[in-house]
């Protein structure tokens, strides 16, 4: 049978670097970063492992690529605006991106070659602080502090065995009962009178810290005379 066209004409939408990275990100979201293997990714795309290597050099490049994709989802702060509002919005934006893609925070540790979206993000954030009158020193301090807090919060959130309001109870209750013998009174107290209260959501703690940090930065900015 003389087929003038290829076997699978439109079954598979054609490979490309963008599609590889996009599917890799989806797969990591659905099944976790550990389940993102060359083979599983190829299968998810309806192709074979070695085909992917025409679009990415190796798996590390895939990991770098999806981290940059995550940054590309974060809208950039605007230099020249109210710095505090911009940093508040950026804080929430970064956190929600890291919540959507919990594996990303774990990759931050190992990836050292930032992509273009990551660079743009850093540039816009630094420019916003500088434009608001932060000195170079204070800008560096502020950025290290803000990102440490945001990343660290995301890290802790990713490490929690529960997710969202009220879901803590099922996990925590048996543990608390185990500990109620008295070895860890303060932990039990916090658990029973805070974590186990209806409506509790660890994510709500985020705003307290972000606010406190922005307050402190505002004081230092004013104290330095602008």
Partner DNA sequence: TGGCTGTTTCGTACATAGTACGCTACGGTT
Partner DNA sequence: AACCGTAGCGTACTATGTACGAAACAGCCA
Interface residues toward its own copies, by CB under 8 A: 105-106, 108-112, 119, 122-123, 126-127, 130, 136-137, 139-141, 144-145, 147-153, 155-156, 158-161, 183-187, 189-190, 193-195, 202, 205, 208-209, 212-213, 215-217, 220
CA angle 27-68-156, nearest 5°? 70
Of 38-46, 110-118, 166-174, 187-195, the window that binds DNA (rule: CB under 7 A) is 38-46
The rounded distance, in Å, linking the Cα atoms of 20 and 66 is: 10
What is the CA 77 to chain-centroid distance, rounded? 17
Q: Between 1 and 193, whose beta carbon lies closer to DNA?
A: 1
Question: 211: closest CA among 151, 163, 122, 146?
Answer: 146
Neighbour-count burial of 10, counting CB atoms closer than 10 A to its CB (0-12 exposed, 13-18 middle, 19+ buried): exposed
- Cβ neighbours of 38 (radius 10 Å): 18
14 binds, among its own copies, DNA, none (CB under 5 to 8 A by kind): DNA
Cβ 37 to DNA shortest distance, Å: 3
Which long-range contacts does 118-122 make (Cβ < 8 Å, 24+ apart)? 118/67, 118/68, 118/71, 120/71, 120/76, 121/71, 121/74, 121/76
11 contacts DNA (rule: CB under 7 A): no
199 contacts DNA (rule: CB under 7 A): no
The rounded distance, in Å, linking the Cα atoms of 121 and 150 is: 14
Q: Between 5 and 183, whose beta carbon lies closer to DNA?
A: 5
Q: Between 1 and 174, whose beta carbon lies closer to DNA?
A: 1
The rounded distance, in Å, linking the Cα atoms of 32 and 12 is: 24
29 binds, among DNA, its own copies, none (CB under 5 to 8 A by kind): none
48 contacts DNA (rule: CB under 7 A): yes
Of 46-54, 84-92, 156-164, 213-221, the window that binds DNA (rule: CB under 7 A) is 46-54
The rounded distance, in Å, linking the Cα atoms of 7 and 134 is: 61
Q: Between 44 and 158, whose beta carbon lies closer to its own copies?
A: 158
Residue 204's φ and ψ, nearest 5 degrees, are: -70, -20
40 contacts DNA (rule: CB under 7 A): yes
Instruction: Tell me which residues touch DNA (CB under 7 A).
Output: 1-2, 4-7, 14-15, 35-40, 47-51, 53-55, 58-60
């Amino acid at each position: 049978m003389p087929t003038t066209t290829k076997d699978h004409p439109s079954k598979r939408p054609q490979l490309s670097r963008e599609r590889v990275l996009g599917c890799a990100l989806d797969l990591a979201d659905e099944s976790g970063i550990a389940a993102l293997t060359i083979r599983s990714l190829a299968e998810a795309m309806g192709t074979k492992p070695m085909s992917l290597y025409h679009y990415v050099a190796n798996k590390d490049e895939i990991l770098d690529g999806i981290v940059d994709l995550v940054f590309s989802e974060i809208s950039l702060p605007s230099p020249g605006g109210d710095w505090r509002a911009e940093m508040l919005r950026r804080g929430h934006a970064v956190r929600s991106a890291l919540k959507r893609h919990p594996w990303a925070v774990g990759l931050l540790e190992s990836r050292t070659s930032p992509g273009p979206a990551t660079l743009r993000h850093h540039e816009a954030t630094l420019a916003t602080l500088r434009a608001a009158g932060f000195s170079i020193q204070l800008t560096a301090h502020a950025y290290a502090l803000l990102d440490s807090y945001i990343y660290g919060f995301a890290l802790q959130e990713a490490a929690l065995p529960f997710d969202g309001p009220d879901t803590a109870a099922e996990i925590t209750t048996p543990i608390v009962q185990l500990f109620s013998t008295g070895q860890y009174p303060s932990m039990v107290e916090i658990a029973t009178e805070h974590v186990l209260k209806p409506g509790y959501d660890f994510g709500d703690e985020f705003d307290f810290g972000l606010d406190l940090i922005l307050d402190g930065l505002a004081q230092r900015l004013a104290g330095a005379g602008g």
